[in-house]
Chain A
Amino acid sequence: MKRIITLTVRDRSGVLNRVTGLLQRRQFNIASISVGPTETEGVSKMTLVVEVEDEQRLEQVTKQLNKQIDVLKVSDITDKAIVVRELALIKVSSSAQLRSEINGIIDPFRALIIDVSKDSLAVQITGRPDKIDALIELLRPYGIKEIARTGLTAFQRGHQPQVNDIPSYTLLK
């Protein structure tokens, strides 16, 4: 199963290596990872998408991440009410004649054409990864030359519907 795990970490040299090295050593697959600064100076946030077999492995990965000295907080937010976004840049083969046809496809996705050349154009799309996947499938027949994706980033919505206010990480699960 794919899980979305967010980490807040101290912005110290080597911290990304600590996290990815740990996941590799303990045989966890990283589907995507994104890192950036947060509202607090000296604190960064990582969003990991990891592939785990079962609950036990999931518990292990969060516990092992928590053990890192530079990791401040680990949350598995997969089952929370969350906002998830990813950004993708897609370069599609396209002659001038096809441009408006492609425009028609990308428009409902609220994607933008951000670069045009003689035989290609570049589309920028932001959204949930499945939305990006869907657009990529629609564009594939035109010939995709290049894709660059950021990996997803996410956080919890301001309002969580359920009352079960369990902390995101508990030792007593």
Chain B
Amino acid sequence: MWDYTPIVKDHFLNPRNVGDIADADAVGEVGSLACGDALKLYLKLDEQKERIVEAKFQTFGCASAIASSSALTEMLKGKTLDEALAISNQDIADFLGGLPEEKMHCSVMGQEALEVAIAKYRGHELPASAHDHEHAPAYPDQEGVVVCKCFGITDVFLKKVIETNRLTTAEQVTHFTKAGGGCGGCIPRIKELIAEVMGKQPEEPRKRPEKLSNMKKMQMIQEVLEKDIRPLLWADGGDLELIDIDGPKVQVAFRKACAGCASSGYTSRVVEQKLRDLVAEDIVVEEVAG
């Protein structure tokens, strides 16, 4: 049995604001029957079209999906559209006193429906949506390519959720978005996306050590290649192998998408710069055939 908080239980058993608004200003719909959950969110604005005066929902899904929708409609009342857009999926979970991690996708669905509703109202392009198949409302201009076929989830959406929730494992991504929870075929790609997003995270600047023994230097080169460089290459379907370290000379071989690619000359320069920044100034990277 799920360990739901009393607030989740209350919002599930006594959901607030169920229904529709006939003259709604904004409507956002996400999810599908096939996915196992869906949410249709209605917003009504005041006369100045500034603040949300009424929010209603219809949800198909489990207890936490219903509770998340109910919570969201309560949170929205009285907010301007910009204030509403600042609500994150974590805010929804917090309002409920927390959600089991496996159920975080319910809060993500709420946040997503909200974005869709507001974007449609403003006549903006629709945000990157998780859901992309025939049973969901069609988003013809949607960005991104579908990564998870089982749940119709795009890379752009996944990256957004990974970034805002600082997810680090594929399992977490499944809990937050469902991607990877079906056949599992997309998990390698999800890992690549994590690497891509985390690679981009502003890190606290790492300093190059002052003096290094040869042993230590070789170790550090390997570490930087593993942790900083290879994940970046994986994201583009490439890879690299460390062939040899000889004094300042670092020999690497590029694989897959990178191998023989016109820009790999550039790639080895990027690798060199990274190693110079993090290990030693005099490093020279040489590309060799693997």
- A and B are partners in one complex rather than unrelated chains: no
- Give me the interface of A with B, judged by CB distance under 8 Å: none
